[in-house]
Amino acid sequence: MKVVAEEKIKTLLTRAVSEVIIRDHLEAALKSGKKLRIKLGIDPTAPDIHFGHAVSLLKLRQFQELGHQAVLIIGDFTARIGDPTGRMEARQALSSQTIKSNLKNYLKQIGKIIDIGKTEIHYNNKWFGKMGAQEFYNLTSSVTVQQVMKRDDFRKRIENNHDIAISEMMYPLFQGYDSVMIRADVELGGEDQKVNLLMGRRVQRAHDMPEQDVLTTRLIEGTDGSKKMSKSSNNYIGVAEKSDVMFGKIMSIPDSLILKYFEALTMVPDSEIEKIGLKLKSGENPKNIKMQLAGEIVKIYHGEKKAEKAALEFERVFSKKEFPDKIATVILSDEGRNILNLLSEMLLVKSKSEARRLILENAVKLDGKIINDPRAKISIKKDAILQVGKKRFVKIKIK
RNA sequence: GCGCAGGUGGCAGAGCGGUCAAUUGCAUCAGACUGUAAAUCUGACGCCUUCGGGCUACGGGGGUUCGAAUCCCUCCCUGCGCACCA
C-alpha cells in the first residue's frame, strides 16, 4: 500500500510538471500524511476551459486522489474590474450576472476533471470587494516593482514600448493575497504563471504565514503544434466541445505532440505511456496511436460510448471520405436558385465574395459533385448534401 | 504642462500626393499530397457585381487639391524625453 502511494507521489511531482518550488519541502509534506490545501486560480473571463487549463486541473485531481483538499479560487473580483491585458479588446467589465452564468458553465466543465463535491470554492470578490484602502496599501507595500516586472511578458512589453497598465501589475498581488486568505499550502498553475505564483509566497511571508509551495505544470502546444494553446491563437481544444469535434481536433495535432498529450491530458498510467513511446519508435503508424490518444481524452469529458462513436465517425468522414453521420438539416422549397445565394443562405460562407472564391477553388460540392461555376443555377429536386471544403456540410431537404 | 515620435487590414509592419483595396511576414481559407497528420507545393485572402466595374476603408472630425493612407488644422489615444514629484 505504501509503495503505491510513493509511486503516486512521484507521478504527482514529475508528470507534466515544469517545476516544483520547493521540491524537497513539498515532497516531505506529501509524505507526512498531512492534508494539504491545494490552490488553483480560475479566471472567469474566458468563455470556456480548454486543454491548456486541463493540465493543471488534472494535476489537482491527482492531489485529490491522494486525499488533499482542493481549493478553487474564482477570480470574479478581477473579472468585474475588467481585464486590461488584452489591449484594444473589450475592456468593459463583465456584469456580475454574466459572471454568474459563466461560472455555472465552468463548474460543469471543471467537474469533468476534478471532484467538485470535495472541492472548496471561493470567489475572491468576497475579500477584495470590501478591502479598505489601508489594507490595500499594506498589500502593495509587500512587493517591489522590480519583482513584479520580472515577468517575462512585462519585460518584453517594456522593450517593445507596449503599455502596461498599473492594474495589470496588481494582478500577481491579488493572486498572492488569495493564497493568504485561503491559507494555501501549495499553489498550482501553468509554467507561465511562475512569477505570479511565487508572489504568493512573498505576500504570505509579509502576512506572517508559512509560504506555499509552488507546482507549475507544463504548457502544451495547441493544434498548430507550435504555439502554446490559447484562445487568442485560436489553436485550442475546449473541454466543452462536442465529442466529434474534440476527437477531430486531437487527430490534427502533429505527431511529435502525442506523448506530451498522453502525459498531460490523460490518466493513462506512466508505465503504459512508456510502452506507447516504444511503439511509436518501432514504427507503428502514429495515426493508430493518435486514435487511442483521442479516445482516452474524449472519454474523460464525454464518456466511453461517445468516445467510441467519435472514433467511428472520424474513420467514416476522413479516412473513407463519406458524409458525416449527423449533418445540420435545412428545409427548402424546390425552386431554383443561384449557388451563391444558396451558400450564403445556408451560412456556409461569410460573404458572397468568399463563396465565389471557394467555387473557383473547386471547394464546393453538391452531393459529391464539384460545382465550379459561380453563376450556376441550382434547382434541387430531392434531398441533397451541400459541402464546402472538408468540414462544412449542410443537408437540404425539399419541402 | 512642454518637446519629439507614432496611430495602416486578425496581428506584426511597409507605403508618405495619382500606377493603393494598399509591398511583405505570420495567422486564416481552399486545392494537391496524406493519416483531416505535420512538412511541402499551388492559389485565395474588404463588400457587391450582369465581370465592364461599383462601393466602403489607412484613429475621429474638418480642410487644401482635378485627385489624399500620403499635405494642413483640430480632437482623441500611445510611446519616449524634459519638467513636476521623490
DSSP-based three-state secondary structure for A186: strand
Do residue A333 and residue A200 come from a single domain?
no
A254 is near strand B: CB distance < 7 Å: yes
User: Can you say whether the dihedral through the CA atoms of A24, A27, A33, A39 is positive or negative?
Assistant: positive
Residue A244, nucleotide of least CA–C1' distance: B36
Do residue A194 and residue A260 come from a single domain?
no
Q: How far apart are CA A28 and CA A165, in angstroms?
A: 40
| CATH number of the domain encompassing residue A176 | 3.40.50.620
Q: How far apart are CA A366 and CA A368, in angstroms?
A: 5
Kindly state whether residue A232 falls inside one of the protein's structural domains.
no
The secondary structure of A219-245 as a DSSP string is P-B-TTSSSBP-TTTT---BTTS-HHH
Q: How far apart are CA A317 and CA A391, in angstroms?
A: 9
Do residue A292 and residue A388 come from a single domain?
no
Task: Provide CB contacts within 8 A for A347, sequence distance 6+.
Answer: none
A361 is near strand B: CB distance < 7 Å: yes
Find out whether A390 and A332 touch, Cβ atoms under 8 Å.
no
* Global model pTM greater than 0.95: no
Q: How far apart are CA A225 and CA A232, in angstroms?
A: 15
Kindly state whether residue A289 falls inside one of the protein's structural domains.
yes
Kindly state whether residue A300 falls inside one of the protein's structural domains.
yes
Do residue A12 and residue A99 come from a single domain?
yes
Do residue A314 and residue A341 come from a single domain?
no
Residue where a domain terminates, one of A299, A319, A339: A319
A161 is near strand B: CB distance < 7 Å: yes
Residue in the structure block whose three cell numbers are 507550435: A226
Kindly state whether residue A224 falls inside one of the protein's structural domains.
no
User: Which CA-bearing residue is nearest the C1' of B78?
Assistant: A163
* Residue-level pLDDT at A90: 33
How far is residue A228 from each of residues A52, A129, A198, measured CA to CA in Å? 8, 33, 22
Closest CA to A217 of A82, A388, A40, A356: A40
The terminus-to-terminus CA distance of chain A in angstroms comes to: 67
Report, in ranges, which bases of strand B sit under 7 Å from a protein C-beta. 11, 13, 27-32, 35-39, 43-51, 78-80
Residue where a domain terminates, one of A292, A319, A346: A319
Kindly state whether residue A313 falls inside one of the protein's structural domains.
yes
* Residue-level pLDDT at A298: 92
Residue A341, nucleotide of least CA–C1' distance: B48
Kindly state whether residue A223 falls inside one of the protein's structural domains.
no
A98 is near strand B: CB distance < 7 Å: no
A353 is near strand B: CB distance < 7 Å: yes
Residue A358, nucleotide of least CA–C1' distance: B30
Find out whether A386 and A343 touch, Cβ atoms under 8 Å.
yes
Largest CA distance in chain A: 78
User: Can you say whether the dihedral through the CA atoms of A56, A58, A63, A67 is positive or negative?
Assistant: positive
Helix then strand then coil, % of chain A, to nearest 5: 50, 15, 35
| CATH number of the domain encompassing residue A347 | 3.10.290.10
Beta bridge partners of A121: A72
Residue A317, nucleotide of least CA–C1' distance: B36
Q: How far apart are CA A103 and CA A45, in angstroms?
A: 9
A10 is near strand B: CB distance < 7 Å: no
* Residue–nucleotide distance: A160 CA to B14 C1' (Å): 18
The parent domain of residue A294 ranges over 243-319
Kindly state whether residue A384 falls inside one of the protein's structural domains.
yes
Find out whether A58 and A27 touch, Cβ atoms under 8 Å.
no
Mean pLDDT by 10 residues, chain A (399 residues): 72 86 85 89 75 90 91 79 40 58 80 90 87 83 74 64 67 86 90 83 87 89 78 78 86 86 88 86 84 91 89 84 80 80 86 90 88 83 86 85
Do residue A125 and residue A180 come from a single domain?
yes
* Residue-level pLDDT at A39: 93
A387 is near strand B: CB distance < 7 Å: no
User: Considering its fold, how many domains does chain A have in total?
Assistant: 3
A156 is near strand B: CB distance < 7 Å: no
* Residue–nucleotide distance: A172 CA to B85 C1' (Å): 27
Do residue A91 and residue A212 come from a single domain?
yes
* Residue–nucleotide distance: A171 CA to B80 C1' (Å): 26
* Residue–nucleotide distance: A371 CA to B45 C1' (Å): 21
* Residue-level pLDDT at A242: 84
Do residue A169 and residue A25 come from a single domain?
yes
Do residue A381 and residue A285 come from a single domain?
no
Do residue A211 and residue A258 come from a single domain?
no
Do residue A184 and residue A110 come from a single domain?
yes
A232 is near strand B: CB distance < 7 Å: no
Residue where a domain terminates, one of A298, A319, A340: A319
* Residue-level pLDDT at A26: 86
Beta bridge partners of A20: A215
Kindly state whether residue A51 falls inside one of the protein's structural domains.
yes
Do residue A254 and residue A179 come from a single domain?
no
DSSP A72: E
| CATH number of the domain encompassing residue A283 | 1.10.240.10
* Residue-level pLDDT at A84: 43
* Residue-level pLDDT at A89: 33
User: Which CA-bearing residue is nearest the C1' of B27?
Assistant: A233
* Residue–nucleotide distance: A88 CA to B77 C1' (Å): 11
